Each structure stands twice: as C-alpha cells, then as structure tokens.
C-alpha cells in the first residue's frame, strides 16, 4: 500500500510542477507570439493545463481514498483486499491463484486482480468452500474457493 501511495505522490508532484512552472512558461511564450485565436501553441498549452488539473484532482481523490483504508476493517476469515485466493475454475477445469489488489497494482498476467474487477467483486466476502459466479464477456465462470490467505497473513 505504501508503494502505491509513494507512486501517486510522485505523479502528483510531477503534475503540480508542470502546472505551476512549465505550462505557465509555455502559455506566456505562446501569448508573446500574438493573435490567440489562431495560436496552436496557446490552445495546446491551455488544453494540457485543463487535463493536468483534472488528473491532479483524480490522483488527490485516490490518495484520500487510500488514506482511509483501515486494515482492521478487512476480514480475517473471508476474502478481502490483499487476500491470496486459490480457486478451482469449473468452467476451465483448472486451479488458479489470485491476489486482490488496488486498481493501480492490477496485472491479470501475474494473477493480481483488482477488487473492483468482475472476478474481484465476485470473490469478495467468500470463504473456503464457497463458489463465486463471475459474469465475463466470455460467459459465466464458476470459481470455487479452495485456499485463502488474508492480508493479515492468516491462512484460513
């Protein structure tokens, strides 16, 4: 979780620098060129300024959300954020291992599934022996929870 916060802080810092230092210099240079109605440099810099402002808002909101994550509220006996889950996919007849992570960390190829993804949402709150039904673009999948280790390091 600290790695994610640090990465977000770095992105915020870089965007704030661009917004307060680089973009004003670009806009000032573009204004010096004259007629703003047909000044592509000016319009490009203003569009970038709007984008950077919006992105900064998103990143700061996400930092606020992460700051409110309380590990004490994450279950010790059911699937929750940070859990590593071994499931049996009855549709594909294979065993799979997933870890529930934040959307910033998600990487399906490594088995890192976001808690907001269809699989992540279906598995949240499940216990060993439960079956989760996941609706994917390829149809329904049935995932039976075989093993579970929570973020607290507790193997259930």
Domain end residue (candidates: 50, 69, 88): 69
23 vs 1 pLDDT, higher one: 23
Q: What is the mean pLDDT of residues 54-75?
A: 77
Structural domain harbouring 55: 2-69
Question: Domain check: are 115 and 61 in the same one?
Answer: no
DSSP state of 43: H
Q: What is the pLDDT of residue 85?
A: 94
Q: What is the pLDDT of residue 68?
A: 65
pLDDT of residue 99: 92
Is residue 86 domain-shared with residue 48, that is, in the same domain? no
Same domain, 88 and 136: yes
Band of residue 5 on the pLDDT scale cut at 50, 70, 90: confident
Residue 51's pLDDT band (boundaries 50, 70, 90)? very high
Q: At what angle do helices 40-67 and 2-17 cross, to 10 degrees?
A: 150
User: What integer pLDDT is reported at residue 91 of this predicted model?
Assistant: 84
- % residues pLDDT > 90 (the chain): 45
**Antiparallel, parallel or unpaired: β 94-101 and 84-89:** antiparallel
Length of the chain: 156
Say how far apart CA 42 and CA 28 lie, in whole Å.
8
Whether 53 and 84 share a structural domain:
no
pLDDT of residue 150: 86
Mean pLDDT, to the nearest integer, of 92-102?
91
pTM of the model: 0.61
Q: What is the mean pLDDT of the chain?
A: 86
| Rounded CA separation 30/35 (Å) | 9
Final residue before a domain boundary, out of 17, 48, 69: 69
Number of domains in the chain: 2
């Amino acid at each position: 979780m600290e790695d994610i916060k640090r990465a977000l802080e770095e992105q915020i810092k870089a965007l704030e620098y661009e917004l307060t230092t680089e973009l004003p210099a670009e806009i000032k240079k573009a204004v010096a060129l004259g007629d703003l109605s047909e000044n592509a440099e000016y319009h490009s810099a203003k569009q970038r300024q709007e984008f950077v402002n919006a992105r900064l808002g998103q990143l700061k909101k996400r930092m606020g959300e992460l700051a409110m994550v309380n590990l004490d509220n994450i279950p010790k006996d059911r699937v929750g954020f940070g859990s590593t889950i071994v499931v049996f996919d009855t549709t594909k007849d294979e065993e799979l291992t997933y870890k529930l992570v934040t959307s910033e960390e998600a990487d399906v190829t490594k088995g890192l599934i976001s808690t907001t993804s269809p699989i992540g949402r279906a598995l949240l709150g499940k216990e060993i022996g439960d079956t989760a039904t996941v609706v994917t673009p390829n149809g329904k999948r049935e995932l039976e929870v075989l093993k579970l280790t929570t973020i607290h390091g507790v193997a259930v």
